[in-house]
């Protein structure tokens, strides 16, 4: 995991190709959440203070390999200008003669932003010639887009064949340090908290974690497949019948290895997702056939909090219920407070999980908040991330 980092490179007079993750939510031409822009500012400012110039690059949305004004990085350029207090012109493309000329003209302290990389299908195809064209724009490669590190795309993987040195940005380095601490040198006991809708999305992750953690907490929609595997009725709750046997196997392996698995002991049931009446908490043995479980109950929050009190390291991904609906948010918020109050070093990732700790007012008590979603999960599964593997190793 020891990778070359941007602060180990002499940047004076160098043009730096900085792959960022500016895949931010937009409302028309307005950025509605600039968290990912703010996260990369330390690297941008480090390069500029070091006497370098910047060619910024990112994707935005899914324009399907062709220009689409809905996915232009224009709003990002405007927000960057406001944040940096200096011009950040948006170039008309990310490759081509005009772009090459503008890149060659950069002087120390200059910044330009390339137009959406995914306007070209070659980006997602990890195309060699496209990567060479991108590499020709700069002298140094820096990747600060950990959220896209699980993608073998031209600006993430192939470009590093032609642009050296290839270093991690400051954000990437922090991500790798925090996530490596979980598995390479965790303070134990190490507990994982998993939620979200489907077992099928996280079965590989659960299997991988069984070899590494000292305890598991499982909530959210995925918990009902495990409850079914234990013989409980789940009413109309989310269930993946074809994963029940796999869930049973996970529970048996955990039991044989002495790894405690905490599942909900009560759930909040309702007639449907939009219900505002008829909501109540019931024990897991009492879920009515005609109702669905949409959140964990107060007794489950208490049980989970008690288990996590013993942890020294916690990794959490996924909400405990249909968190985006206010009547079913209490369980996730309760777990957020439990993680924050545990005293453990905690690492969280995923949009709903981040929203939960922010809504609960405990974000400042979390050890590390990852900006990544898919890359965060794939790292926890033990997969090789192309965007990390492509970077130079530290000396």
Q: Considering 14, 19, 36, 174, which one is annotated as catalytic?
A: 36
Nearest to 16 by CA among 103, 109, 140: 140
Give the per-residue pLDDT at 240. 96
Give the per-residue pLDDT at 15. 98
Please report where in the chains the tokens 């070659």 appear, as a residue.
122
End-to-end Cα spacing for the chain: 12
pTM: 0.88
Give the per-residue pLDDT at 54. 98
Q: Considering 109, 249, 283, 351, which one is annotated as catalytic?
A: 351
Active site residue 198: yes
Establish whether domains 6-175 and 186-380 are of one fold: yes
Class at the top of the CATH hierarchy for domain 186-380: alpha beta
- Residue 49 neighbours by CB under 8 Å, 6+ apart: none
Q: Considering 83, 198, 253, 337, which one is annotated as catalytic?
A: 198
Q: How far apart are CA 360 and CA 380, in angstroms?
A: 25
Give the per-residue pLDDT at 276. 85
Active site residue 185: no
Please, which contacts does 339-342 make with residues 24 or more away whose CB atoms are closer than 8 Å? 339/193, 339/308, 339/314, 339/366, 340/365, 340/366, 341/305, 341/365, 342/305, 342/308, 342/309, 342/311, 342/314
Active site residue 215: no
Q: What is the mean pLDDT of each run of 10 residues along the chain (395 residues)?
A: 92 98 94 93 98 98 96 98 97 98 98 98 98 98 96 98 98 91 89 93 89 96 97 96 96 96 98 91 96 98 97 96 94 98 94 92 94 85 92 94
Provide the residue ranges of all domains of the chain, joining segments of one domain with +: 6-175, 186-380
Active site residue 221: no
Give the per-residue pLDDT at 347. 94
Q: Which fold does the domain 6-175 belong to in CATH?
A: Rossmann fold (3.40.50)
Q: Considering 50, 233, 367, 374, which one is annotated as catalytic?
A: 374
């Amino acid at each position: 995991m020891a990778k070359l980092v941007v602060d180990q490179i002499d940047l004076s007079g160098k043009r730096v190709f900085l792959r960022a993750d500016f895949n931010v939510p937009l409302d028309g031409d307005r950025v509605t959440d600039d968290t990912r822009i703010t996260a990369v500012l330390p690297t941008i400012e480090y390069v500029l203070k070091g006497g370098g110039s910047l060619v910024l690059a990112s994707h935005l949305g899914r324009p399907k390999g062709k220009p689409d004004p809905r996915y232009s990085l224009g709003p990002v350029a405007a927000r960057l200008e406001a944040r940096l207090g200096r011009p950040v012109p948006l170039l008309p493309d990310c490759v081509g003669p005009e772009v090459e000329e503008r890149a060659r003209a950069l002087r120390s302290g200059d910044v330009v932003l390339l137009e959406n990389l995914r306007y070209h299908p070659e980006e997602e195809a990890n195309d060699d010639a496209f990567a060479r064209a991108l590499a020709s724009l700069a002298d140094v490669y820096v990747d600060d887009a950990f959220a896209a590190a699980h993608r073998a795309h031209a600006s993430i993987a192939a470009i590093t064949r032609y642009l050296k040195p290839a270093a991690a940005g400051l954000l990437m380095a922090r991500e790798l340090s925090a996530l490596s601490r979980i598995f390479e040198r965790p303070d134990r006991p190490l507990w994982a908290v998993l939620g979200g809708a489907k077992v099928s999305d996280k079965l590989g992750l659960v299997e991988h974690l069984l070899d590494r953690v000292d305890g598991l907490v499982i909530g959210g929609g995925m918990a009902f497949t495990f409850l079914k595997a234990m013989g409980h009725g789940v009413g109309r709750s989310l269930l993946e019948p074809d994963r029940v046997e796999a869930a049973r196997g996970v529970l048996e392996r955990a039991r044989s290895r002495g790894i405690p698995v905490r599942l909900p002991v009560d759930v909040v049931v309702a007639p449907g997702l939009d219900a505002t009446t008829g909501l109540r908490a019931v024990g897991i043995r009492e879920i009515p056939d005609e109702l669905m479980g949409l959140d964990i109950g107060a007794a489950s929050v208490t049980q989970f909090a008690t288990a996590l009190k013993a942890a020294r390291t916690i990794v959490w991904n996924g909400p405990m219920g249909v968190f985006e609906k206010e009547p079913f948010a209490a369980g996730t918020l309760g777990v957020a407070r439990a993680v924050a109050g545990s005293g453990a070093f905690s690492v969280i990732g995923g949009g709903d999980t981040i929203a939960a700790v922010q809504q609960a007012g405990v974000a400042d008590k979390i050890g590390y908040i990852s900006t990544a979603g898919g890359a965060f999960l794939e790292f926890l599964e033990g997969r090789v991330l192309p965007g990390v593997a492509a970077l130079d190793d530290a000396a």
